[in-house]
A and B are shown apart, each in its own frame.
Chain A
């Protein structure tokens, strides 16, 4: 479980996150949705501690993460996996080296055990044939998938995904959504996903938090989302033609 309490974050006097409180459950896929520029990435990065919040508290299960020092945070980070919006693979390393890095640094496993784990993770994201390619030689979707493999290689307890399927074709998007959903259930992970893709919302949105201009505008489940009176959320949801048709059909 990850809990945010009244977090406020501003850059150079401009408030980006305005008093956000919410809770993300364990073993479920939590979605943060909102328009481009609404503050999703800033919220996600504040939750993992890449941005220091101005005020408010962040809890990882019972631990108050936001007051921890650098060293204790590092210990928690071993349980955290994150997929960045741009992939953020290390350019100078191959796919296998990228995925293996956390194992090299933090486990005592033998080389064979590590490689076995790496191959297993790459297989889960359908990247068996790209082991020795460099990030510059991968397509956008392959970068995303390699990033997912890297994020799950250490069996994280908390998984953060910043638009894991933006820029991917619909088929691959669904594969990735389902993959994240499956591992969330399998390992009982607290998963938080940023997205503005309504397909993902309908596929895997167990809990949904809608951010509008830095405020938490709405939260609920994918079943509630069609029955809301909330104007901005409605606009967001029904901007997609498919969802519009779904509503008319109801």
Chain B
């Protein structure tokens, strides 16, 4: 290896993309690549895009690699890695001018209309694009166009390499064919001059326990490295180099971050009905039924698959009434069914946690695509008026700690807590240091055990809905002697018995609502919102949830260009921190709201609660997460064009 020679190269900053038909190993290929980078001390952030389909439709995986933590995906890929024609057709135009495309040489002659899974709209656009360029309609024609723009082409004869692999391993070709994704990944890392040993280590990890599969894939990787070294000039403008670090790191997805938070909080019952993109969380939890405790004991974690989402939330509420820290996980269609149970938890003051991964809606919508469209829905879900707490995480760091918060607030304020995430966070994977659990506390609020009861117990029972100064009443668990209580979905008196008395009703309504005031008073400001950037900024970005990463990265780029910005990320949505937000927005010359939905739900909420209106709205509702480039461009447009910039800018990146 000749590190010191050759043209000037960008080191350890890369946006990489692999695609292929669903079921053909795209995920494991991306996983191998990401892990290979992670083992070498690099930071990785991945995002998975896939259809609601099991086999055949196009899926892709973007991975960004850096020697600094990465916060969001980029639209442009420096290296596009493929082993089918569709991936090249779909993504070739998104490769950065100095980037490269790894592809199967035998597919060059594939005509556009021979890729049946392409969406009709895309096919038509591509046809027009190619016709406008004055070229034919094959893959090769498209490649020639992008090559003229500076993109490097790396055709790989996968069939020949697989044939060789089959001969060497003395196995039928059909057996080794699946290794084509490893050939593709290895060809890409060979171009990046990244040592093959990192790929081998990752293969061992991804295919753990399957020695034969590991062996054949390792050999495939070697063949690819060998081919690349023999065939192409060593001039790819990016390279990856391992970085020495003492830091312990994990590699995990958004659903795993949430699951870890639940486990740490002591969640012992999780219910679910299968639904994208929430299911992975429950599956991860179900594979950890016994949790190691610091006192040397084991704690049971029940994961219960129910007949539908009404049952899912009601089982969780039943378990919470019994005393378990109970949760359920779902996305829009499931939450719609849970609204009934939510109302029960509201009126009976049951601490239950609902983890909601938003996806493209309404109705079944786009099951595997992202959106931040449910904010208004969760704030008002249910008939009538009643308290709930809603918090939204912006990244995998927050997702973990927010889940613990959700359980603490649920018990402290005896309300259902809705933890908002989305598909983009669910399918983000990243390397990060181990979560620091030192400052984490378990808070169970006014929970009474037998020894606390004397005084509260009246003839064996308690007033479960006792009127108190802060609206929160002491609670017991069934099985507690002297702690008998009644709950009812009807309006009730202090004892939990049905009442329609107008005076009691008025007080009970006020008692429930008062809990939100208590929560608003007690929850610290820094848990209600994050503020990034300096006070000298004239423009303020207002946003929430998963758009955070792209915004923070875009801000860094803009600041470097002399546009200082402030970013207010709202994390607590109910009780709404109107005053705190108003303070942050006051005096702002320009307010730009950024949301992954159609109407700018948070911006409207801020206007409703503070009277302050955003000047511009950057919204995106094509089902894809925000990329750094489009947020950067969008903000810049608002800043430079000022009054001339449209009030609403629709972002459209994504395939």
> Are these two chains actual partners, yes or no?
no
B→A interface (CB under 8 Å): none
A→B interface (CB under 8 Å): none
